[in-house]
């Protein structure tokens, strides 16, 4: 069962170090049907409900050309997630795994990512399917899905490097 902030048996919390400013800027806000982690899906679905992403000024011109992509990668700040667990027990069965071995929203830097289907672009508003975040979640960034994107800039030497 999903929980809000309690610690399960075998989970380990630490005192996080003081935050340093990474210079992140919220570029918009995400509106979804979910207001609680207890109701939100664990992973977004491409046939999931329609969600709205609003881009703030001055970032609206950065949307130019985004409508050419069928899918986008959405990065967002999981603002209601705790940040102190280093071991978690998602099944609540007494076993635990390291936070970095899980896709849990509970992480030192709670950055969420989803691949969404772009349904519509209308000015500063995108309609998408495939999100799993709560209503009002701050937006960090949008990118074309890397599997659909071909770089526009000329190639550089590292583009052709392969293994040893």
Tens-binned pLDDT, residue by residue, of the chain (164 aa): 556 777 888 888 888 778 778 888 999 999 999 999 889 898 899 999 999 999 999 999 999 999 999 999 999 999 999 999 999 998 888 899 999 999 899 999 999 999 999 999 999 999 999 999 999 999 999 999 988 877 778 888 888 888 87
Q: Are 112 and 32 in contact (CB under 8 A)?
A: no
Q: Which residue range forms the structural domain that includes residue 126?
A: 23-147
Which is nearest to 123 in space by CA: 68, 51, 55? 55
Note whether residue 15 is domain-resident.
no
Chain centroid, CA 85 distance in Å: 18
Note whether residue 75 is domain-resident.
yes
Split into its structural domains, the chain has a count of 1
Note whether residue 161 is domain-resident.
no
Note whether residue 153 is domain-resident.
no
Note whether residue 137 is domain-resident.
yes
Residues 6+ apart with CB under 8 A from 113: 73, 74, 75, 76
Note whether residue 10 is domain-resident.
no
CATH code for position 68: 2.40.30.70
**Cα Rg of the chain, angstroms:** 18
Both structure tokens of 154 = 């000329």
């Amino acid at each position: 069962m999903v929980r809000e902030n309690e610690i399960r048996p075998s989970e380990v919390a630490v005192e996080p170090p003081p935050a340093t400013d990474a210079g992140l800027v919220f570029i918009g806000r995400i509106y979804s049907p979910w207001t609680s982690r207890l109701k939100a899906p664990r992973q977004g679905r491409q046939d999931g409900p329609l969600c709205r992403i609003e881009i703030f000024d001055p970032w609206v011109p950065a949307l130019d050309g985004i409508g050419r992509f069928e899918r986008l990668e959405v990065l967002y700040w999981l603002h209601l997630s705790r940040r102190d667990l280093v071991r978690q027990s998602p099944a609540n069965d007494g076993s635990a795994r390291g936070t970095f071995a899980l896709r849990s929203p509970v992480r030192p830097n709670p950055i969420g990512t989803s691949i969404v289907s772009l349904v519509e672009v209308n000015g500063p508003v995108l309609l998408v399917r495939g999100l799993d975040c709560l209503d009002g979640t701050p937006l960090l960034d949008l990118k074309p899905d890397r599997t659909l994107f071909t770089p526009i800039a000329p190639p550089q030497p590292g583009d052709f490097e392969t293994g040893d």
